[in-house]
Structure 1
Amino acid sequence: MKQLICVIFFFLSFYTSVPASDWNLVWQDNFDYNGPPDPELWGYDIGGGGWGNNELQYYTDRLENVRVEDGVLIIEARHEHYEKYEYTSARLVTRNKGDWLYGKVEVRAKLPGGRGMWPAIWMLPTDWEYGEWPGSGEIDIMEYVGFDPNKIHWTVHTEAYNHMNNTERGSSDIFDDPENNFYTYAIEWFEDRIHFFVDDELHFTFGKEDNATYSEWPFDKRFHLLLNIAVGGNWGGLEGVDDGIFPQRMEIDYVRVYEMRTPPPYTINIESSVGGKITVYPLKDEYTEGESVEIMAVADSGYSFQKISGSIYSSQDSIRVRVNRDLNLSALFLKEGEMIINGDFSQQLHYWSELITHNGAIATGSAENEILEIDITDGGESPWDVQVNQAGLNLLQGQRYVLSFDASSPTSNTMTAGVAINRDPWFPYFSQSVQLTAQMSSYQFEFTMDDPNDPAARLFFDVGGSEGIIIVDNVSLVRKTTTVSTAPKTITTDSPVSSFNLKRSTNSLSDISLSIPQNSSVTLSLLSLNGRTVESIHGGRLKKGKYHFTFNVPNGIYLIKLTLDGQQFIRPMVLY
């Protein structure tokens, strides 16, 4: 045993972090803005109920509890009466906005202090493929309890190793006043080990054992990051809570996530998407390091583009990037007017909140079989004591919407569905209660958004006050009426552009064929992705018939713009 301890000490003393040049930065927030955290990067866990640790706070998304100002993210714990709780705080998550398998995560932070404070920088599984906690794992990059000042803790939890069985694996060390000094807390996560650092100094390593199963090593699935301050709880409240210390802040200077750099050549893998496709130019089997590519997401007729995701995240449908690693790309398209993502739960609970409980309610939620199944042990007293939400819905004043879903319950429970403001005071724009039966039934409701525009509303299902199983599926929220758009229409197979040549001929010319249905005023031009005219191909009146045009431009991705008697058509075109 002494020999083993010496070997571990030797390893920790001489191991240094992987050089910065070996990492590619893939996700970051430097907090160089003011206001709420960037909604493209961060989401919130909201509510009370103890969070499995008998914690005393209620998590909110209010600016009083979480905001960006003066170049740092502030998470603030407060002593105030709110939602039947005496303390408030915030818990930020990157779930479904930043999810990673292996890599380096670093957070530079200054911590709150005092009895009852329990800040954490940690990671949880996004998909829970090995079951509920602790089966799918937990990685604690940094934990701190205020009653034991200056001591930083690093821990992992698995089915075999967790604090419920007093078998957790971790370590701790003393630092110079982390409540008033910034430190960089980081992990380097590989297929067979996780290293824990503070300011680039290694303090703890958890390694994968030989012949390990998920029980010992569940860290082969994607995880997401959490930042929070808990108040009290099983550990943080061991010596009570000092109400004289509030408010208390955790300040975060930056968050950065890296992937391990691999030597070229690199590949680009495009996953198939329903409702559209991704086009890459140039599309090759292999790419050299730093090679520039253009990526465009093109929606099918009847669908609209939402985002590009995978190795790259973008809400823009066309981007240019330099390849410095293997890329896996997918795009999300929704039917025109549809606002709910993953309403059929085919992606489990992606884009949905975890099940939220209040006031001591006990329930679990999962979507493993492409349906949402809520199992309620104690539903509390109010409908909102157990709920699931999807946030980020852009509701427009004066518009009509159709909410529909399928639901059932063997025990004939009542469920309230609707859309609401996603912040205090949480009032609904529309809600409707339904009496569920054992038979799966379809429900549909129409409503008008009478309140001012809300770009971040939420759809909710409240099932508090119930017991037993509730099933939900095929959730949809469709904007029934839209303002008249003057945006160009996408060319379909029925448009006047009947064919065009995607390949160069030997003389570097490209050609396009038009079928004009009637005598018309016609303009035809080639645009860059940012809408700038690259070449005007034709302008003037044409008689009914077929026409053929040639033009010569550099290789790339372009937009063909056709105006036919004032009606515009646009379609992407790849020339190579």
Structure 2
Amino acid sequence: MPTPHMKNLFATILILAVVSCSPKPYKLAEEYMLIQKPKRETKDWKLVWQDEFELDSLDGSKWTKIPPNKADWGNYMSDDERCYDFKDGKVYLNGIVNQNNPVDERPYLTGGIYTKGKFAYQYGKIEIRAKLGSAQGAWPAMWLLAEKNKYGKYPKNGEIDIMEHINFEDIIYQTTHSYYTLELHQTNKPPHGGTAAFDKDVYNTFGLEWYPEKLVFTLNGKETFTYPRILGVDPSQWPYDQSFYLMIDMQLEGSWVGKANPEHLPVQMIVDWVRVYQ
């Protein structure tokens, strides 16, 4: 006759077997792109990817440090170790004054990470818990870009800005950009962005629920702005039918934000966790 211990063991094995055999809410493309299965919209979310930042370094299987680039936001991106800290189960992305660096003469350096080539997804929910630092010229951002050039060069594949914060403001910006909004200037048919008030001195959860017919932006679990797919307009209005990768970066300066004040630096964005559901 089985003992109570054996019964508990059998029950545990059965539960694990059921969980492991439960259908995944996505199909896998190229081993790292999670394409949500059709008709998932009415079902409960399932956690499909996450990083709790419990390691003492960046998990290279999930992230890469963002290299410098010529975009307005990317002038100071760097892999300099001073731009990154890993402690207390969090990653600190820092914007710093670049002192005593004969190899790199840029005045500032900033930290940022992205999942390009390692994780991308199409449709689902993403939430990022973080605390944003403020400074003149600070521009922390969380955003999505297309993994593949399905429609051509930027901005034809679109951009989804889950959260942008500038300087010392008490609001965040949540925005979509595409050929439709940037080149055809259709920013109000429908409105392509919104703002939300928040307490910048505490941790907040910034999110997006992405469906085949709409983008629903959230703040601390509450809906803040929705960008719908519109029929009967130029098809460039909805490039959001493909896999996107995630970027989280502590940017400095830019034409929108203005010049940085070195007396306000260093500034940092502290990221507690990232979770993706489908």
TM range (shorter): 0.7 to 0.9
Q: What's the counterpart of residue 94 of structure 2?
A: 76
The partner residue of 2:83 within 65, 69, 74 is 65
Q: What's the counterpart of residue 18 of structure 2?
A: none
Partner Cα distance (2:214, 2:145) in 1: 17
- The Cα shift of 1:166 comes to 7.8
- Deviations 1:217-264 (Å, cap 9, x if unpaired)? 000010000000111101121xx32111111110011000111xxxxx
- The Cα shift of 1:43 comes to 1.1
Q: What's the counterpart of residue 193 of structure 2?
A: 170
Contact 1:130 1:214 in 2 (8 A): no
Where do 1:64-463 residues align within 5 Å? Answer: 64-81=82-99, 82=101, 83-147=104-168, 149-162=169-182, 165=185, 167=187, 169-176=192-199, 178=200, 180-237=201-258, 240-259=259-278
Contact 1:27 1:257 in 2 (8 A): yes
- The Cα shift of 1:214 comes to 3.8
Q: Letter of the aligned partner of 1:69 in structure 2? A: K
Q: Letter of the aligned partner of 2:221 in structure 1? A: D
Contact 2:146 2:243 in 1 (8 A): yes
Q: Letter of the aligned partner of 2:126 in structure 1? A: V
Q: What's the counterpart of residue 382 of structure 1?
A: none
Secondary structure in structure 2 of the residue aligned to 1:84: coil
Secondary structure in structure 1 of the residue aligned to 2:133: coil
* 2:48 is the counterpart of 1:30: no
- The Cα shift of 1:139 comes to 0.2
Contact 1:74 1:250 in 2 (8 A): yes
Partner Cα distance (1:164, 1:62) in 2: 39
Q: Letter of the aligned partner of 2:86 in structure 1? A: V
Partner Cα distance (1:39, 1:31) in 2: 12
Partner Cα distance (2:268, 2:223) in 1: 26
Q: What's the counterpart of residue 7 of structure 2?
A: none
Contact 2:180 2:186 in 1 (8 A): no
Tell me: CA distance 1:88–1:57, structure 2 relative to 1, closer, same or farther (3 Å): farther
Where do 1:30-49 residues align within 5 Å? Answer: 30-35=52-57, 37-49=58-70
- The Cα shift of 1:211 comes to 3.3
Q: Which runs of 5+ in 2 are unaligned?
A: 1-40
Runs of 4 or more off by more than 4 Å in structure 1?
Answer: 163-166
Contact 1:46 1:61 in 2 (8 A): yes
- The Cα shift of 1:104 comes to 0.5
Partner Cα distance (2:183, 2:223) in 1: 23
Moved more, 61-70 or 119-128: 61-70
> Which structure would you say has the larger RCO, counting Cα contacts within 8 Å and 6 or more residues apart?
2
TM-score (norm 1): 0.39
Partner Cα distance (1:228, 1:113) in 2: 14
Higher helix proportion (structure 1 or 2):
2
Partner Cα distance (1:247, 1:95) in 2: 27
Secondary structure in structure 2 of the residue aligned to 1:215: helix
Tell me: CA distance 1:181–1:257, structure 2 relative to 1, closer, same or farther (3 Å): same
Higher strand proportion (structure 1 or 2):
1
- The Cα shift of 1:68 comes to 1.8
Contact 1:157 1:163 in 2 (8 A): no
Bigger radius of gyration among the two: 1
Tell me: CA distance 1:163–1:33, structure 2 relative to 1, closer, same or farther (3 Å): farther
Q: Which runs of 5+ in 1 are unaligned?
A: 1-17, 260-576
Partner Cα distance (1:29, 1:109) in 2: 13
Q: Letter of the aligned partner of 1:241 in structure 2? A: A
Tell me: CA distance 1:220–1:212, structure 2 relative to 1, closer, same or farther (3 Å): farther
- The Cα shift of 1:97 comes to 1.1
Contact 2:56 2:86 in 1 (8 A): yes
Q: Letter of the aligned partner of 1:22 in structure 2? A: D
Partner Cα distance (2:176, 2:182) in 1: 7
Partner Cα distance (1:258, 1:38) in 2: 20
Tell me: CA distance 1:124–1:209, structure 2 relative to 1, closer, same or farther (3 Å): same
TM-score (norm 2): 0.78
RMSD over aligned CA atoms reads 2.0
Partner Cα distance (1:205, 1:248) in 2: 31
